[in-house]
Amino acid sequence: MIDAPPVAAGGFRTALRRLRRNPAAIVSAIVLLMIVFACFPGAPLWVSHACNHGPSDQNIQGTITENGHKVPVVRNDGTPIGPGLRACYLLGADSNGRDLFVRILYGGRISLEVGFISAIVCVTVALVLGILSAYAGGVTDSAISRLLDLIWSFPVYLLAVALATAFAVHGIAVGPIHVASTSLAIPIVVIAIVYVPYVARPIRGQVLSLRRMEFIEAAVASGAGPVKIMLAELLPNVASMALVFLTLIVATNILTEAALSFLGVGVPLLTPSWGNIIEQGYQTIVTAPWLTIAPGLAIMITVVSLNVLGDALRDALDPHARLRIRN
Q: Which of residues 61-90 bind other proteins (CB under 8 A)?
A: 61, 74-79
Q: Is 122 exposed, middle or buried (0-12, 13-18, 19+ CB in 10 A)?
A: buried
Distance, CA of 298 to CA of 177 (rounded, Å) = 35
> Is residue 163 at the binding interface for other proteins, with CB under 8 A as the rule?
yes
Q: How far is the C-alpha of 24 from the C-alpha of 18, rounded, in Å?
A: 12
Q: Which of residues 94-133 bind other proteins (CB under 8 A)?
A: 95-96
Of residues 119, 129, 112, 91, the one with CA closest to residue 238: 129
Separation CA 271–CA 182 (nearest Å): 10
* Span 259-288, contacts to other proteins by CB under 8 A: 259, 262-264, 268-270, 278-280, 282-288
Taking CB under 8 A as the binding criterion, the range among 9-17, 124-132, 219-227, 290-298 that sits at the site for other proteins is 290-298
C-alpha–C-alpha distance, residues 58 and 36, integer Å: 25
- What number of other Cβ atoms are within 10 A of residue 77's Cβ? 6
Among positions 2, 38, 51, 58, the unique one binding other proteins when judged by CB under 8 A? 58
Q: Output the smallest distance, CB 42 to other proteins, in A.
A: 22
Which residue in the set 41, 44, 149, 231 belongs to the binding site for other proteins (CB under 8 A)?
A: 149
Q: State the DSSP code for 3.
A: -
19, 31, 50, 57: which one binds other proteins (CB under 8 A): 57
Q: What Å distances lie between residue 224 and 128, 216, 219, 231, 236, CA to CA?
A: 19, 10, 6, 11, 16
Among 81, 229, 303, 317, binds other proteins (CB under 8 A): 303
Task: Candidates 10, 68, 138, 155: give the one binding other proteins (CB under 8 A).
Answer: 155
Shorter beta-carbon distance to other proteins: residue 96 or 124: 96
Q: Stretches 38-46, 130-138, 207-215, 252-260: which one binds other proteins (CB under 8 A)?
A: 252-260
Among 10, 68, 223, 319, binds other proteins (CB under 8 A): 319
CB of 250 to other proteins, least distance (A): 12
d(CA 323, CA 247): 11
17-30 as b/e: b if 16+ CB within 10 A: ebbeebeebeebbe
Q: How many residues bind other proteins (CB under 8 A)?
A: 74
Cβ 121 to other proteins, closest distance in Å?
Answer: 20
